[in-house]
Structures are given as structure tokens and as C-alpha cells.
């Protein structure tokens, strides 16, 4: 992409129309708002282009306890009724971490996505409300993510879940947390079925060609990225910590297999491709999908952007394959 002269020409007509509508709305950008106002604005806008929430038999609020005693809200989505305690190993489960630059986003903003993944993959999904910056800076979100994953594994039998079939997933900053948890899980001897990563942040510094080409006017602007990371990181040294930048991970051998969905017109696309290459070099199976002509956040635009529906179906297929390897290709 280093010689791309008109990156906007890559957009699909529908994606271009969505961006034009957003520009005409003239809303105050998130980086110009105080954190509480930015979170409210992001939540209010989260459902505008997202699919209507799928009705599921069971949606249950749960909690986990962080290492410092804080309570972490969780939401458990089940595509079936809760079984009796003696009904067998239970459902496989995806532990999902929402995106939002470590500063905005919540269980509520990703409710529709988690419902649809549970329905399409016929697995349980546990969505995690990790604590946000700037009130809680790095590495609190990482610690919360790992503590939540550990709690899900411990509580799995009581919640009708199978502790032997757990995947981690997330989008953007949540994808970063998911892949860090996968490395921590390997080190702890906790086998995971899959890492489900939508356009994860992977790089210590935002200086790739895709950051130059798509850093303005493609939804995730450079100013917003700088704002998010300025609020999240304690100091410049944190950038080189692999728990912030998975590309800095010294050793990726033995982590869980990966399904990764990237957006072509996204500042993060180059670092996602680089991370996929690093994983493959370490012998990790990687299934990579590059969705052409769409931007960051497209997976939450299912009302308008057809590629979102394709990505949901691809991700669900990857989950089914990971949770049921004995069934072979679908």
C-alpha cells in the first residue's frame, strides 16, 4: 500500500456513503469530549448501523472478581436454555472483549454482535466489561481480561459451559486483549480452542503505511488513536510492552489457533497482517480474511454494510470448526 495515491477509491460505494453521512452529521469527535461524554456518545451511536439484537433463550448477567477485588460485570449469552447440572459438559464458550480504544465501549455497545455470534456459532458468549482509561490505565484492562477469562473457566460447570472448549475474541482494543490472553493462557497451561480477532491493535507505534493512508477520513482517525493511547498508557515505555503491542511478544509458539478478520481501509490493517505473519512463523495456524473496501468498526454496521454479515458468518464458521473439530469442514 506504500504507493496508494487515492485510498478513498478503495471504499465500496456503500462504505463511502456511510462515511459521507457521518461527515455531514457534524458530530463532535470522541477525542474532543471528556471521557464520560465520549462513552455516552459512543454508546448512543453503537446501534445506529448495527443489526437488531437477536432474541436468545438466555441472556444472564454475571460477575467476576478482579485481582484487586473490583467487580467486573459479565454478560452470558446462550443460544439454548440453561441445562440441568448433570446434562454433560455444557456449551463451548467465546470470552469476548469489546473494542473502543481501551477508553470507550461496553457490554451494551457490543450486545448485538455478541448475540449474533452466539446464534450463528451455536455457542455461549461471555462479554466482559473490563475497566477503562483514563481512570484505569495500562495494564488494568489486561489484568481484568485475564481475571475474567480465569473466572469463566472456574465457573464454567456451574454456568452450563464446557471448560475444555473456550475461545477468546475481540475487536480492535478487545482483539489486543484477546491475543494477550491467549499468550498468558499458553504460559499458564490453559488450552484455548481459538483466538477470534477482528482488526486487533498489534503495534507499539502507529507508523505503518496503512496508518498514513487511512489515518484521516476513514472513521478511526489518527487524532483519535493518539487520544485513546494517551489516556491508556502510563508513559512512553508502555508502548514496548508486549501486553500493549502483541508484535513485541518474544515467543508466540504454542498459542491458540487464530481466525483474524481485517478491514482493508483501516489504519490497523498493516499491523494485523504483520501479526498474522509472526504467528505463522511461530507455527500457529492462522485463517485470515481481508474484507475489501470497508473501514475499522465495519462489523458493527450490519444494517448497511454487507461485508459485516459476511464477517459474522465467517467468524461463526471458524468458531464451530474450532469447537467441533471432529465434524470436519462445514
* Set of cell numbers at residue 90: 455444557
Choosing from 112, 172, 203, 210, the catalytic residue is: 172
Give the closest residue to 94 by CA, choosing from 265, 269, 318: 318
Residue for cell digits 461471555? 126
Residue 296 falls in the annotated catalytic set: yes
Alpha helices in the chain (DSSP H): 13-25, 35-45, 111-121, 140-155, 173-188, 209-214, 222-232, 269-281, 306-323
* Set of cell numbers at residue 213: 493512508
3-state secondary structure of 251: coil
Distance CA 247, CA 1 (A): 20
Residue for cell digits 475481540? 170
Give the closest residue to 92 by CA, choosing from 163, 189, 194, 185: 163
Residue 166 φ then ψ, to 5°: -120, 135
Q: How far is CA 319 from CA 33, 89, 92, in A?
A: 37, 17, 9
DSSP 65-107: E-TTS-EEEEEEEESSPPPPTTS-S-EEEEEEE--STTTS--T
Choosing from 129, 147, 221, 266, the catalytic residue is: 266
CA atoms within 13 A on the CB side of 162: 19
Task: Give 290: exposed, middle or buried? Use CB within 10 Å, 0-12, 13-18, 19+.
Answer: middle
Choosing from 110, 136, 296, 312, the catalytic residue is: 296
Catalytic residue numbers read: 172, 266, 296
Amino acid at each position: 500500500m506504500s504507493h496508494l495515491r487515492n485510498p478513498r477509491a478503495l471504499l465500496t460505494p456503500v462504505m463511502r456513503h456511510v462515511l459521507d453521512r457521518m461527515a455531514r452529521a457534524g458530530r463532535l469527535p470522541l477525542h474532543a469530549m471528556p471521557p464520560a461524554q465520549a462513552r455516552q456518545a459512543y454508546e448512543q451511536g453503537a446501534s445506529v448501523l448495527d443489526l437488531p439484537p437477536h432474541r436468545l433463550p438466555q441472556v444472564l448477567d454475571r460477575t467476576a472478581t478482579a485481582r484487586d477485588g473490583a467487580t467486573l460485570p459479565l454478560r452470558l449469552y446462550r443460544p439454548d436454555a440453561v441445562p440441568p447440572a448433570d446434562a454433560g459438559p455444557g456449551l463451548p464458550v467465546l470470552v469476548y472483549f469489546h473494542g473502543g480504544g481501551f477508553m470507550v465501549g461496553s457490554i451494551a455497545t457490543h450486545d448485538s454482535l455478541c448475540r449474533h455470534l452466539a446464534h450463528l456459532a451455536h455457542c455461549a458468549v461471555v462479554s466482559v466489561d473490563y475497566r477503562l482509561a483514563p481512570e484505569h490505565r495500562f495494564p488494568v484492562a489486561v489484568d481484568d481480561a485475564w481475571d475474567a477469562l480465569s473466572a469463566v473457566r472456574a465457573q464454567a460447570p456451574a454456568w452450563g459451559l464446557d471448560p475444555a472448549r473456550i475461545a477468546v475474541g475481540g475487536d480492535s482494543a478487545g482483539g489486543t486483549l484477546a491475543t494477550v490472553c491467549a499468550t498468558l493462557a499458553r504460559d499458564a497451561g490453559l488450552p484455548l480452542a481459538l483466538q477470534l480477532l477482528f482488526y486487533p491493535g498489534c503495534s507499539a507505534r502507529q507508523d505503518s503505511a496503512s496508518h498514513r493512508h487511512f489515518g484521516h477520513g476513514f472513521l478511526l482517525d489518527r487524532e483519535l488513536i493518539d487520544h485513546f493511547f494517551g489516556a491508556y498508557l502510563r508513559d512512553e515505555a508502555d508502548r514496548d510492552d508486549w501486553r500493549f503491542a502483541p508484535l513485541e511478544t518474544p515467543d508466540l509458539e504454542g498459542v491458540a489457533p487464530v481466525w483474524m478478520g481485517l478491514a482493508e481501509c483501516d489504519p490497523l490493517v498493516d499491523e494485523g497482517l504483520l501479526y498474522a505473519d509472526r504467528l505463522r512463523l511461530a507455527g500457529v495456524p492462522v485463517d485470515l480474511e481481508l474484507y475489501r473496501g470497508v473501514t475499522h468498526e465495519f462489523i458493527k454496521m450490519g444494517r448497511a454494510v454487507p461485508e459485516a454479515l459476511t464477517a459474522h458468518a465467517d467468524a461463526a464458521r471458524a468458531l464451530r470448526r474450532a469447537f467441533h473439530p471432529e465434524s470436519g469442514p462445514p
